[in-house]
Amino acid sequence: MPMLGADMEVGTIIQWLVKPGDAIKRGDIIAVVDTEKATIEVEVFQTGIIEALIVGEGEKVPVGTVLARIAAGEAAPPPRPAPAAPKPAAAPPKPVAVAARPAPPPPRVAAPPPPPVALRPPVPPPKAAPPGRLRISPLAMRVAIDLQVDLSKVKGTGPSGAITRADIERAAARPAEAVAPAEAARAVPEVAAPAPLAAVAEAPKAVPRPTISPADRQASMRRAIAAAMARSKREIPHYYLGTTVDMSRALPWLQAENLKRPVDKRLLYSVLLLKAVALAVRQVPEMNGFWIEGAFKPSEAVHVGIAISLRQGGLIAPAIHDVDGKSLDDLMVNLRDLVKRVRAGVLRSSEIADATITVTSLGEQGVESVFGIIYPPQVALVGFGKVVERPWAANGMIGVRPVINTSLAADHRASDGHRGGLFLAAIDRLLQEPEKL
């Protein structure tokens, strides 16, 4: 069970997307896992052949538990260095445990750590599931969990009989026989042509499903945020810097740029901020990477985590990868996609686990400045307030300009205020030449 964010302690396998014997390559999505915060598509970090699935669908296990065994293919590239943990020092050609990365040292005061992975004997996979494998999208799965719909009683109407979100909602609206009894009260009375229940028999699979109500999800998300932020405040000696950045070049440039574009290709100024942060990181690399086992491990890649708030409350900070090398248009496409999927509750494991620095922007409705809390094991968080118009003195003249307050929360173990100051100054400088971003 991979650690999908510093605040994760347990995860539930919702669905396996592979079966023993399947050939997989690094980056394939092999399973869907439900954490306390979201439904995550887990990407495998290893090329090879699935030998056995060890944890069954519906099982909830601690981070670090071996989920499956993979026979390493000869062409397997070395596993990507995991940000959250050192590579297991294993002799190469032999079965590799999926996601058996040790978790970063747990906070001392936290709940007892998960049982050591190695002690868990490989157990035979639960009764083979493949024949009756359900075809269902992660989003539909998520809706099914929220509505507590028994998937074995849902007939899919999508491509190849896949269960769609609409199928789930229809099933949830159907009274008792298709809905868990406890949920009947919540079911909507009017029924749109119930699907013939006889068809259900084709899908004999009845894996116990995790049932998480929206209220529970809410509560568990608060606990997850509490755990990560408490750890951050306990372990990371933060220092804070702030500066005010003149946006009188960036914003008019952006507005002129957007006038040339159709509405669905417009850019938000957030992408300028993201790109500026990513380029500034290349000048001050101490801000980009992880504090692991008493040492700073800089990251070559710049994966910028973006704090995205959920409408129902709560927060997730998934990453856009390689922001420094992407065009503003690409970043905008990535950002829109990410926000959409965060709000739908479906993310990928790499997005959740590997941000190397985080940006938080409180948007236009909010306040002028933010003093961030670093997301461990990262070492820096850049905060942007809202854009405001202020009197601004330049070249001996006073004028009114749009400005944005930019703050840095950084880990004093990894860097000092002098370097942090250079980093913010670099962001400022980059935002004065938006056309070069």
Partner 1 sequence: MNNDDIKAIVLREIGNIAPEIDPAQIDPAINFRQQVDLDSMDILNLMIAINTATGVEIPEADYPKIDTIDKCVAYVASRVSAA
Least distance CB 342 / partner 1 (angstroms): 10
With CB under 8 A as the rule, give the number of residues binding partner 1.
19
Neighbours of 62 (CB within 10 A): 18
| DSSP state string for 153-178 | G----SGGGPBPHHHHHHHHHS-GGG
Q: Interface with partner 1 includes 186 (CB under 8 A)?
A: no
Rounded to whole angstroms, how far apart are CA atoms 385 and 341? 24
Q: Interface with partner 1 includes 260 (CB under 8 A)?
A: no
Q: Which of 365, 391, 393, 395 binds partner 1 (CB under 8 A)?
A: 365
Quick note: the x/- pattern for partner 1 over 129-168, rule CB under 8 A, is: ----------------------------------------
Residue among 343 and 429 whose Cβ is closer to partner 1: 343
Residues 39, 41, 45, 49: is their CA dihedral positive or negative?
A: positive
Quick note: the x/- pattern for partner 1 over 205-244, rule CB under 8 A, is: ----------------------------------------
Question: What are the backbone angles phi and psi of residue 400, rounded to the nearest 5°?
Answer: -100, 125
Least distance CB 141 / partner 1 (angstroms): 18
CB 100 within 8 A of CB 64: yes
Residue among 336 and 412 whose Cβ is closer to partner 1: 336
Rounded to whole angstroms, how far apart are CA atoms 290 and 282? 15
Token code pair at residue 375: 């997301």
Q: Which window, 96-104, 170-178, 291-299, 362-370, contacts partner 1 (CB under 8 A)?
A: 362-370
Q: Interface with partner 1 includes 315 (CB under 8 A)?
A: no
Cα torsion 82, 87, 91, 97 to 10°: value is -60
Q: Which of 30, 227, 268, 427 binds partner 1 (CB under 8 A)?
A: 268
Residue among 162 and 339 whose Cβ is closer to partner 1: 339
Rounded to whole angstroms, how far apart are CA atoms 318 and 315? 10
Q: Interface with partner 1 includes 203 (CB under 8 A)?
A: no
Q: Which of 202, 364, 389, 433 binds partner 1 (CB under 8 A)?
A: 364
Q: Interface with partner 1 includes 71 (CB under 8 A)?
A: no
- Beta strands 39-43 and 29-34 are antiparallel
Q: Interface with partner 1 includes 363 (CB under 8 A)?
A: yes
Q: Which window, 5-13, 267-275, 288-296, 347-355, contacts partner 1 (CB under 8 A)?
A: 267-275
Rounded to whole angstroms, how far apart are CA atoms 33 and 431? 39
Sheet order of strands, 238-246 included: 238-246, 397-411, 380-394, 357-361, 304-306, 319-320
Q: Interface with partner 1 includes 336 (CB under 8 A)?
A: yes
Q: How far is CA 437 from CA 236, 321, 423, in A?
A: 32, 16, 16
Q: Which of 178, 319, 335, 414 binds partner 1 (CB under 8 A)?
A: 335
Q: Interface with partner 1 includes 312 (CB under 8 A)?
A: yes
Least distance CB 294 / partner 1 (angstroms): 39
- Name the residue among 59, 28, 39 with its Cα closest to residue 125: 59
H or E, element range at 218: helix 214-235
Type of residue numbered 22: D
Q: Which residues lie near partner 1 (CB under 8 A)?
A: 255, 258-259, 262-264, 266, 268-270, 309, 311-312, 335-336, 339, 363-365
